[in-house]
Amino acid sequence: MSDSMTIEEFQRLIRERYHATDSARGIPGTFLWFAEEFGELAEALAQRERGDGDQDNLEEEFADVLAWLATLANVADVDLTRAIERKYLHDGGPKGTK
CATH no. for residue 54? 1.10.287.1080
pLDDT tens, residue order, the chain (98 aa): 458 999 999 999 999 999 999 999 999 999 999 999 999 999 999 999 999 999 999 999 999 999 999 999 999 999 999 999 999 998 777 777 76
Q: How many domains does the chain have?
A: 1
- Residue 4 Cα distances to 11, 17, 39, 45, 55, angstroms: 14, 19, 27, 25, 20
In a domain, 64, yes or no: yes
In a domain, 54, yes or no: yes
CA distance 5 to 78: 19
- Report the predicted TM-score, pTM, of the whole model to 2 decimal places: 0.88
Q: Please give the residue range of the domain that contains residue 37.
A: 9-92
CA distance 59 to 55: 6
CA distance 94 to 24: 35
In a domain, 78, yes or no: yes
Q: In the 3-class helix/strand/coil scheme, how is 16-34 assigned residue by residue?
A: HHHHHHHHHHHHHHHHHHH
In a domain, 98, yes or no: no
